[in-house]
């Protein structure tokens, strides 16, 4: 560090910076105006893009979420979001043990499918004990069983032009049925399964019966419950308001929820 | 050491100035101060979404939380372990700017944004986390390459002696700060504080933050092993954030006590006026 002894100098000019710094304090109550400004929102959304790009670069396509032992299961797996879809149609399905539930596989596929729960259970199965991370901050560990989404997409002959997979759900939240989407990296990931069992029993209604998505490297709201359609699309533009998911379209949750 | 060519001046009247903070330090200091403020306030918003902390890998409403900020029908409370304190008005139950009673954990004046929005809190937090990480990485490299670590922050052998440390603690407690030439250098407590913030607390914030990311868990599963699970990482993230707030409070107190204009000016212009020796 260089040390210089200087003759006297005016100090007032240098206090200018101090006053400028103090001047920023009254801005604090204006924070919400800043938060709501369109330009600021645009800048804020850069973070999502940076996180997605960084994580896609850093995480191997097939890098697995940690799997746990049965001893590490949460004593109770907390349900969240819809706990019981409203309406007579769903109630009738539930009363009938979802025997007539169909999962439509459509969009950019060579062979559109309409799968029953028996079809789903007849496919090769994967069982995994993973940690579910809610965007709110809590975590629960559960054991999930179901076919890999990649197997379902292969059976339907998903086309190369498909860039996203959209999940349609039977639960209505406010003004719309729930929906979510993911890109092909996560759709084809080995741990991405359509689960019909939790902890060795049929999936409870509160957790998404009869079928829900498990997309283990992303947060809980991506894990669509009560799924009745799987669509392959080239763009998210025509889905809801175009951001790819129910919460993404309504309150600006990130579409890429790996963090 | 370069001396200006002034003739023998009455030393008593001529304040001795030293160039104390180089540009990277000043720049990083202020960017980091603003960044940490945003991260703290948006972090409190995120905490409000689930104001409970756990140890281990999992933890949700039905599991035992070691820390809870909650509310009863007419009161707010903070519970840590078995210890519970009424916090009505500040935590768990408070009145917002419009006069409405809210039962979120941290009050609106402490969060970004003011009214509850987990989505917006996350957007601020996850963008400014980049500023923190990039700024800290560059500053760490500069302290190594630019000699700041070796020349200014390196704790010398003699300074490690308990007697020396205890002496510095006593001097601080008596509010007797170094004067003259000694004021141009960092004391042992200052060195340990700055090293602790730059090389321990801030990296810990970033690492525990990354450990909460399910994506990062797939890429770097060892993060979970280091911190003992995602919920432990979340707890450590929260604790370290408050350790940084504690550092901030002491830091501000010291600036005020040591001469706020001189101290703050030195962090803006770099030039620090040495307090004259006692009796001078």
Q: In this structure, what CATH number is given to the domain that contains residue B123?
A: 1.20.950.20
Least confident of A187-201, B66-80, B166-180: B166-180
What is the DSSP secondary-structure string of B92-142? Answer: SSEE-TTS-EE--SS-GGGSSSSS--HHHHHHHHHHHHHHHHHHHHHHHHH
What's the confidence (pLDDT) of residue A121? 98
Of A1, A4, A55, the CB nearest to B215: A55
What's the confidence (pLDDT) of residue B3? 45
Q: Say which residue the tokens 């979404």 belong to.
A: B49
Counting every residue written for chain B, the total comes to: 280
User: Could you report the per-residue pLDDT of B13-35, keeping only the tens digit for each?
Assistant: 678 999 999 999 999 999 999 99
Is A13 a residue whose pLDDT tops 60?
A: no
Residue B99 and residue A117 in contact, taking contact as beta carbons nearer than 8 Å: no
| Banded model confidence at residue B277, pLDDT cuts 50, 70, 90 | confident
Q: Cα distance from B127 to chain A (closest Cα, Å)?
A: 4
Q: Is B43 among the domain residues?
A: yes
Chain A: residue whose CA lies nearest to B214: A217
Q: Do B214 and A217 touch (CB under 8 A)?
A: yes
Burial of A20 (C-beta count, 10 Å sphere; 0-12/13-18/19+):
exposed
What's the confidence (pLDDT) of residue B278? 74
- How many of the other CB atoms lie within 10 Å of CB of A105? 22
Is B242 a residue whose pLDDT tops 50?
A: yes
Q: Do B127 and A50 touch (CB under 8 A)?
A: yes
Q: Is B238 left (phi over 0), alpha (psi -120 to 50) or beta?
A: alpha
Contacts of B33 in chain A (CB under 8 A): none
What's the confidence (pLDDT) of residue A28? 55
Once rounded to an integer, what is the mean pLDDT over residues B163-187? 90
Interchain CB contacts (distance < 8 Å): A and B: 189
| Alpha-carbon span B63 to B83, nearest angstrom | 18
Averaged confidence pLDDT in chain B: 93
Is A173 a residue whose pLDDT tops 60?
A: yes
| Alpha-carbon span B179 to A255, nearest angstrom | 56
Chain B: residue whose CA lies nearest to A31: B113
Q: In this structure, what DSSP letter does residue B150 have? A: I
| Banded model confidence at residue B4, pLDDT cuts 50, 70, 90 | very low
Q: Do B127 and A133 touch (CB under 8 A)?
A: no
Q: Do B217 and A65 touch (CB under 8 A)?
A: yes
Q: Is B29 among the domain residues?
A: yes
Q: Is B136 among the domain residues?
A: yes
| Alpha-carbon span B71 to A208, nearest angstrom | 30
Contacts of A78 in chain B (CB under 8 A): 60-62
| Banded model confidence at residue A20, pLDDT cuts 50, 70, 90 | very low
Determine the number of helices (DSSP H) and then strands (DSSP E) in chain B. 10, 9
Percent of chain A with pLDDT over 90: 85
Residues 6+ apart with CB under 8 A from B243: B201
How many Cα atoms sit within 13 Å of A37 on the Cβ side? 8
Percent of chain B with pLDDT over 90: 86
Alpha carbon A116 to its chain centroid, in Å, reads: 25
CA angle B120, A24, B265 (to 5 degrees): 130
Once rounded to an integer, what is the mean pLDDT over residues B95-101? 93
Q: Say which residue the tokens 């019909």 belong to.
A: A196
Q: Is B278 among the domain residues?
A: no
Q: Is B96 among the domain residues?
A: no
Is B280 a residue whose pLDDT tops 90?
A: no
Give how many domains chain B has, as a whole number: 1
At B269 the three-state DSSP class reads: helix
Q: Do A252 and B120 touch (CB under 8 A)?
A: yes
- Residue A81 preceded by cis peptide, ω within 30: no
What's the confidence (pLDDT) of residue B15? 81
Contacts of A139 in chain B (CB under 8 A): 57-60, 230-231
Q: Cα distance from A14 to chain B (closest Cα, Å)?
A: 7
Least confident of A72-76, A178-182, B210-214, B254-258: B254-258
| Banded model confidence at residue B181, pLDDT cuts 50, 70, 90 | confident
Burial of B193 (C-beta count, 10 Å sphere; 0-12/13-18/19+):
middle
What's the confidence (pLDDT) of residue B13? 62
Residue A133 and residue B214 in contact, taking contact as beta carbons nearer than 8 Å: yes
Chain A: residue whose CA lies nearest to B1: A3
Work out whether strand A102-107 and strand A227-233 pair parallel, antiparallel, or are unpaired: parallel
Is B68 a residue whose pLDDT tops 90?
A: yes
User: Could you report the per-residue pLDDT of B216-233, keeping only the tens digit for each?
Assistant: 999 999 999 999 999 999
Contacts of B47 in chain A (CB under 8 A): 137
| Banded model confidence at residue A31, pLDDT cuts 50, 70, 90 | confident
Contacts of B30 in chain A (CB under 8 A): 21
Q: Is B55 among the domain residues?
A: no
At B277 the three-state DSSP class reads: coil
Backbone angles phi, psi at A102, to 5 degrees: -120, 145
What's the confidence (pLDDT) of residue A32? 83
Once rounded to an integer, what is the mean pLDDT over residues B61-89? 97
Q: Is B3 among the domain residues?
A: no
| Alpha-carbon span A163 to A107, nearest angstrom | 11
Q: Suggest the residue from A189, A258, A259 to mutate for an interface test with chain B (most B CBs closer than 10 A).
A: A259
Q: Do B214 and A216 touch (CB under 8 A)?
A: yes
CA angle B240, A134, B215 (to 5 degrees): 75
What is the DSSP secondary-structure string of chain A? Answer: ---EE------HHHHHHHHHHHHTGGGGGGHHHHHH-HHHHHHHHHHHHHHHHHHHHHS-TTPPPP---GGGS-SS----S-SS--SHHHHHHHHTTTTT-EEEEEESBSS-EEEEHHHHHHS--EEEEEEEE-TTS-EEEEEEEE-BHHHHHHHHTB-TT--EEEEEEEEEETTEEEEEEEEHHHHTSTT-EEE-EETTEEPPGGGTTT-EEE-TTS-GGGS--SEEEEEEES-STTSTTTTSSHHHHHH---SS---
| Alpha-carbon span B233 to B36, nearest angstrom | 19
What's the confidence (pLDDT) of residue A22? 46
Q: Do B215 and A218 touch (CB under 8 A)?
A: yes
What's the confidence (pLDDT) of residue A161? 98
Dihedral sign, Cα of residue B59, residue B60, residue B62, residue B65: positive
Domains of chain A and CATH, by start: 13-55 (no CATH), 59-251 (3.90.420.10)
| Banded model confidence at residue B12, pLDDT cuts 50, 70, 90 | low
What's the confidence (pLDDT) of residue A12? 39
Of A18, A43, A251, the CB nearest to B119: A251
Q: In this structure, what DSSP letter does residue B22 have? A: -
Is B168 a residue whose pLDDT tops 50?
A: yes
Backbone angles phi, psi at A193, to 5 degrees: -125, 160
Backbone angles phi, psi at B180, to 5 degrees: 60, -145
Of A7, A35, A58, the CB nearest to B4: A7
Residue B266 and residue B12 in contact, taking contact as beta carbons nearer than 8 Å: no
Q: Which residue range is the domain that position B133 belongs to?
A: 17-49+112-273
Its ipTM equals 0.90
Residues 6+ apart with CB under 8 A from B182: none
Contacts of A3 in chain B (CB under 8 A): 1-2, 18-19, 184
Is B236 a residue whose pLDDT tops 60?
A: yes
Averaged confidence pLDDT in chain A: 91
Q: Is B248 among the domain residues?
A: yes
Give the CA-trace dihedral at A58, A61, A65, A67, to 10 degrees. -140
Q: Do A4 and B4 touch (CB under 8 A)?
A: yes
């Amino acid at each position: 560090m260089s040390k210089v002894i200087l003759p006297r100098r005016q100090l007032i000019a240098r206090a200018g910076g101090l006053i400028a710094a103090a001047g920023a304090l009254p801005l604090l109550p204006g924070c919400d105006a800043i938060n709501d400004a369109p330009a600021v929102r645009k800048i804020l959304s850069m973070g999502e893009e940076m996180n997605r790009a960084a994580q896609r670069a850093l995480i191997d396509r097939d890098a697995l979420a940690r799997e746990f032992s049965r001893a590490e299961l949460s004593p109770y797996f907390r349900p969240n979001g819809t706990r019981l879809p409203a309406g007579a149609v769903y109630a009738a399905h539930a009363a009938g043990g979802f025997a007539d539930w169909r999962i439509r596989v459509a969009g950019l596929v060579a062979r559109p499918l309409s799968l029953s729960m028996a079809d789903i259970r007849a496919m090769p199965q994967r069982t995994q004990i993973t940690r579910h991370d809610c965007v709110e901050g809590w975590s629960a560990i559960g054991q999930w069983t179901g076919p890999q989404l990649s197997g379902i997409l292969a059976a339907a002959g998903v086309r190369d032009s498909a860039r996203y997979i959209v999940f349609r759900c039977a639960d209505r939240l406010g003004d719309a049925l729930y929906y979510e989407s993911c890109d092909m990296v996560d759709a084809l990931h080995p741990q991405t399964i359509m689960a019909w069992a939790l902890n060795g029993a049929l999936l409870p209604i509160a957790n998404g019966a009869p079928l829900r998505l498990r997309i283990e490297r992303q947060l809980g709201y991506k894990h669509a419950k009560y799924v009745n359609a799987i669509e392959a699309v080239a763009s998210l533009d025509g889905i809801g308001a175009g951001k790819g998911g129910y919460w993404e379209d309504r309150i600006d949750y990130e579409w890429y929820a790996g963090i | 050491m370069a001396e200006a060519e002034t003739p023998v001046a009455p030393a008593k009247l001529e304040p001795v100035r030293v160039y104390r903070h180089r540009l990277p330090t000043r720049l990083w200091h202020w960017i980091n101060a603003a960044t940490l403020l945003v991260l703290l306030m948006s972090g409190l918003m995120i905490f409000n979404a689930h104001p409970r902390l756990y140890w281990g890998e999992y933890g949700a409403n039905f599991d035992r939380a070691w820390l809870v900020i909650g509310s009863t029908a007419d009161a707010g409370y903070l519970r840590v372990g078995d210890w519970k304190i009424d916090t009505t008005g500040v935590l768990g139950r408070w009145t917002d700017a419009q006069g409405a009673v809210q039962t979120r954990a941290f009050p609106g004046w402490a969060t970004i944004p003011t009214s509850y929005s987990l989505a917006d809190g996350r957007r601020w937090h996850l963008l400014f986390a980049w500023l923190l990480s990039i700024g800290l990485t560059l500053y760490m490299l500069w302290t190594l390459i630019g000699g700041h670590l070796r020349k200014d922050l390196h704790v010398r052998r003699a300074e490690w002696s308990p007697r020396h440390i205890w002496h510095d603690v006593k001097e601080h407690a008596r509010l007797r700060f170094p004067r003259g030439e000694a004021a141009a250098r960092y004391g042992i407590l200052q060195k340990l504080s700055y090293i602790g913030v730059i090389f321990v607390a801030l990296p810990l914030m970033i690492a525990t933050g990354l450990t909460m990311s399910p994506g990062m868990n797939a890429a770097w599963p060892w993060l979970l092993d280091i911190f003992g699970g995602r919920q432990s990482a979340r707890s450590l993230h929260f604790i370290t954030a408050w350790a940084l707030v504690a550092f901030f409070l002491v830091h501000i107190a010291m600036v005020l006590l040591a001469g706020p204009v001189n101290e703050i000016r030195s962090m803006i212009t770099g030039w620090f006026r040495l307090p004259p020796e006692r009796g001078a």
